[in-house]
């Protein structure tokens, strides 16, 4: 089943998608959750995510994050729409500023479509500008405070990590005085490794995020 989140307001679209994911995970805490960003999306990766099985879960929730920021990732997603739509597992496609033609293609296979635009008056809770700005400024103590604040407000660790990794990729594309040269790319890889290590049981994600912030 496909759930599409798109619209002209990138921050609000991301917030609504992560809010939906958090609610879904609360309802089914034993379901397997994975997030695929544009760098890791491929036909094989999508198939592997949907076929994931484990001892304590029978369903899978897959978040496909901004696939059309990478040409090959976007094509792989479009080619996989039929398979994703017929899967009993939930596939959340987060695609801000999606072209109308692509909206129609995905909409034809989607269980539900959520559109969030800049003119929408009701704010979508979840996007934390303070969190991503602290990372952009390379301010470890401030980032730690924002992470703790987000937790108190009920944001899941996976949502916090997703926002931080989105910001890392944003820094890679736009450049930054605080993260010069290839430091933004190294940051992105570090966050990917952090999530992978937490899934292997090395350190819970909430603790790993705290240690990451304090290491900046």
Given a cut of 50, whether residue 43 has pLDDT beyond it is yes
134 and 110 within one domain: no
* pLDDT confidence tier of residue 53, bands split at 50, 70 and 90: low
What is the model's pLDDT at position 55?
41
Q: How many percent of the chain have pLDDT more than 90?
A: 49
What is the model's pLDDT at position 29?
77
What is the model's pLDDT at position 52?
66
Nearest Cα to Cα of residue 21 among 52, 67, 61, 49 = 61
Enumerate the β-bridge partners of residue 90: 61
* Domain assignment present for 122: no
CATH for 23: 3.40.50.300
140 and 92 within one domain: no
19 and 101 within one domain: yes
Given a cut of 70, whether residue 189 has pLDDT beyond it is yes
DSSP the chain: -EEEEE-S-HHHHHHHHHHHHHHHHHH-TTSEEEEEETTT--HHHHHHHHT---SS-S-EEEEEE-GGGSHHHHHHHHHTHHHHHHSSSEEEEE-TT--HHHHHHHHTT-SEEEE--TT--SPPTT--HHHHHHHHTT-HHHHHHHHHHHHHTT--HHHHHHHHHHHHHHHHHH--SSSTTTHHHHHHHHHHHHHHHHHTTSS-HHHHHHHHHHH-
What is the model's pLDDT at position 19?
87
40 and 11 within one domain: yes
146 and 107 within one domain: no
Give the residue carrying structure tokens 């937790």.
151
Question: Cα separation of 194 and 162, whole Å?
Answer: 12
Of residues 191 and 124, which shows the higher confidence score?
A: 191
Q: Which of 73, 90, 115 is the last residue of a domain?
A: 115
* Domain assignment present for 123: no
Q: Are 91 and 64 in contact (CB under 8 A)?
A: yes
* Domain assignment present for 190: yes
71 and 153 within one domain: no
Q: What is the pTM of this model?
A: 0.64
Number of structural domains the chain divides into: 2
32 and 91 within one domain: yes
148 and 93 within one domain: no
What is the model's pLDDT at position 54?
44
91 and 17 within one domain: yes
What is the model's pLDDT at position 97?
92
Given a cut of 50, whether residue 56 has pLDDT beyond it is no
Q: In this predicted model, what pLDDT tens digit does every residue of 115-128 receive, in sequence order?
A: 988 665 544 445 57
* Domain assignment present for 120: no
What is the model's pLDDT at position 4?
97
133 and 111 within one domain: no
Domain span including residue 98: 2-115
Given a cut of 60, whether residue 148 has pLDDT beyond it is yes
């Amino acid at each position: 089943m496909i759930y599409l989140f798109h619209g002209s307001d990138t921050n609000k679209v991301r917030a609504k998608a992560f809010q939906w994911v958090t609610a879904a995970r609360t309802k089914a805490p034993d379901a397997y959750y994975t997030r695929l960003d544009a760098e890791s999306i491929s036909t094989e990766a999508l198939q592997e995510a949907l076929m994931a099985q484990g001892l304590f879960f029978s369903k899978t929730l897959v978040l496909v994050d901004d696939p059309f920021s990478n040409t090959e990732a976007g094509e792989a997603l479009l080619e996989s729409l039929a398979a994703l739509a017929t899967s009993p597992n939930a596939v959340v496609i987060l695609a801000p500023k999606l072209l109308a033609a692509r909206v129609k293609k995905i909409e034809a296979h989607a269980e539900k479509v959520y559109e969030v635009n800049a003119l929408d008056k009701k704010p979508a809770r979840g996007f934390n500008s303070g969190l991503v700005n602290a990372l952009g400024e390379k301010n470890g103590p401030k980032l730690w405070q924002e992470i703790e604040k987000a937790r108190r407000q009920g944001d899941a660790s996976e949502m916090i990590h997703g926002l931080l990794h989105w910001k890392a990729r944003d820094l890679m594309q736009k450049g930054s005085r605080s993260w010069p040269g290839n430091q933004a790319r190294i940051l992105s890889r570090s966050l990917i490794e952090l999530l992978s290590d937490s899934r292997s049981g090395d350190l819970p994600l909430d603790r790993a995020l705290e240690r990451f912030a304090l290491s900046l």
